[in-house]
Amino acid sequence: MNNRKFINIIGNILVIISFAFIIHKIIAYQIDFGKLFSISTLIMIAISIIIYALLVLFYANIFNKILSLLSDIETSKTDTVFTYSQANLYKYLPGNIFHYIGRNQIALNQAASHGTVIATTIAEMLLIIFAAIITVVIFAGQDALKWLLSNGLFARVIFVLAVIFLCCLIASVILYSANERIKERIEKYRRIANRIGFVNVVKFIIAYIIIFILNSVMFLTLLYSIGGELHINLLASVIGMYTLSWIIGFVTPGAPAGLGIREVIMTSLLTGIVSGDLVITAVVLYRVVTTLGDVGGFLMAYQLKKLVFVTNTDS
C-alpha cells in the first residue's frame, strides 16, 4: 500500500470520526426546532447554512490561490478545494490542529512539496489574523478593548500572541543558523513568498474581512428571526465583537472550532440589549448553522469533485 492510499484511508476515518463529534455536539445543544421556531425562521436557518457552506468553498478557493502563487507546479483547484473542505471537518476533533495537518494530503495528491502546503497554511493564518484585527479595530475598537480589560483577557490575548510570535521567531533563527539545508529552504520560500505580491495580499485581506462581516450579519439575522429587536447602530459592534470572539477562540489552545468562546462573548455583549434567553438561543443556533455549514461545504466540494471526474472521464 503506497503512502497516498494510506493517507486517503486515514482521511476517510477522520471524516467519520469528525461526523461523530459533530452529531454528538448538535445533539448536546438539545434544540427543538419544531417548538422554538417558525417556518420563516427554519427557512432562514436553511439559507444561512447554504451561505456558510459557500463561504467554506470561498476559503478553500483563496487557499488554492495562495498555493498556486507559492507552488512551482500547476495546482488542481478541484482537488485543493475538496481536500481543504474535508480537512476543515477535522477542527471538531479535540486538539484543534488536525484540520491544518489534514491539508497536507494536497501534497500527496498533487505531487507538491509538504513545505509549500505548510507555507500556504501559515500564509493563510497570518492573512486571516491580520484581517480579523483590522475588522475589530474598525468596527468595535473601543468596545473590544473595554470588554477585554473588564474580563481580564487583554493581557492573556497579547501574551499568547506574543508567545506564538516569539516561539516561531526563535525556532526560525535556530533552524536557520544550525542547518544549512533548512537555511536554503527558508531562502527558497522567502523568494517564493514574494510572488504573492502586495496587491494580492490586500485582495485576500479584504476578502477575509468581507467573510467576517457576512458571518456577523448572518448571526444578527438569525437573532432577529427568533424575535430579537435590534437597532442598526448595533451592527458595527456585533461585527467587531464577533470577529474578536474568533481571535480569542483561535488563540485558545485545544478548543475545537472555538467551542464556547464565541457563545460567551456574544452573550455578554448582547445581554441587556436583547432578552438573555434569545441571545443564548441565537448563539447556540448559530453554532448549529456553522457546524452544518462546514458539513455542507464538504458535501458541495465532494459533488464538484465527482462532477469534474465524470466530465473528464466522458471526454
Q: Look over the chain and give the mean of its residue pLDDT values, rounded to a whole number.
A: 76
Identify the pLDDT of residue 204.
Answer: 93
**Residue 137 pLDDT more than 80?**
yes
Identify the pLDDT of residue 58.
Answer: 94
Torsion of CA 224, 285, 218, 89, to 10 degrees: 180
**Model confidence over 229-258: pLDDT tens digits?**
667 777 888 888 888 888 877 776 555 555
Of 187-191, 254-258, 276-280, 302-306, which one has max mean pLDDT? 302-306
Identify the pLDDT of residue 1.
Answer: 45
**Residue 180 pLDDT more than 90?**
no
What residue type is assigned to position 241 of the chain? M
**Model confidence over 28-67: pLDDT tens digits?**
656 665 556 678 788 888 999 999 999 999 999 999 998 8
170 three-class SS = helix
Letter string b/e over residues 263-302, b meaning 16 or more CB atoms within 10 A of that residue's CB: bebbbebbeeebbeebbebbbbbbbbbbbbbbbbbbebbe
With a pLDDT cut of 70, the percent of the chain lying above it is 62
How many alpha carbons lie under 13 Å from residue 282 in its C-beta half-sphere? 29
Angle of the 114-150 helix axis to the 180-193 helix axis, nearest 10: 70
Identify the pLDDT of residue 120.
Answer: 86
Domain count across the chain: 1
**Model confidence over 63-91: pLDDT tens digits?**
999 888 887 667 788 888 999 999 888 88
**Residue 300 pLDDT more than 90?**
yes
**Residue 98 pLDDT more than 50?**
yes
- Among 214-218, 266-270, 291-295, the minimum mean pLDDT is found in 266-270
Domain enclosing residue 102, as ranges: 3-314
Burial of 89 (0-12, 13-18, 19+ CB in 10 A): buried
pLDDT band of 154, cuts 50, 70, 90: low
What is the Cα–Cα distance from 253 to 268, expressed in whole angstroms? 22
**Model confidence over 8-34: pLDDT tens digits?**
566 556 666 665 666 666 566 566 655
